[in-house]
Amino acid sequence: MRRLPLPRSPLTLVLSLLLAACSAGAGGSPGPVQHPAADQLVLRVAFQGGFVAPQALLARFPTFSLLGDGRVIVEGAQTEIYPGPALPPILVRQLTEAGIQAVLAEVLGTGAFAASAD
């Protein structure tokens, strides 16, 4: 049995999760995963900390945010101009409940949250 390679970057992981959410369904999932409703945060992927100037932290935006109503918020493409925009462009996509369940099933399948959902 051949093992698939693990994603090498957080962006690849996020795109993999989005593709899984857009597929036919979770398939074989034991049941729906309970998650917060409406405007509450369900899942966030972000880069934090580091030795950077305080001004750089002001424009930092989470890489991926999933809200309870299915909205997925990601950072858009950056232009190659100087000076750059004050804030990055933001893209919002909508997942169905089946898509949310597929993303949560993939995340829980990693085993990274076995001790705590935080």
Residue ranges covered by each domain of the chain: 10-109
Q: Is 86's pLDDT higher than 90?
A: no
- What backbone phi and psi angles, to 5 degrees, belong to 107? -65, -45
pLDDT on residue 29: 45
Q: Whole-model pTM? A: 0.65
pLDDT of residue 33: 83
Tell me how far apart the alpha carbons of residues 65 and 40 are, in angstroms, rounded to a whole number.
10
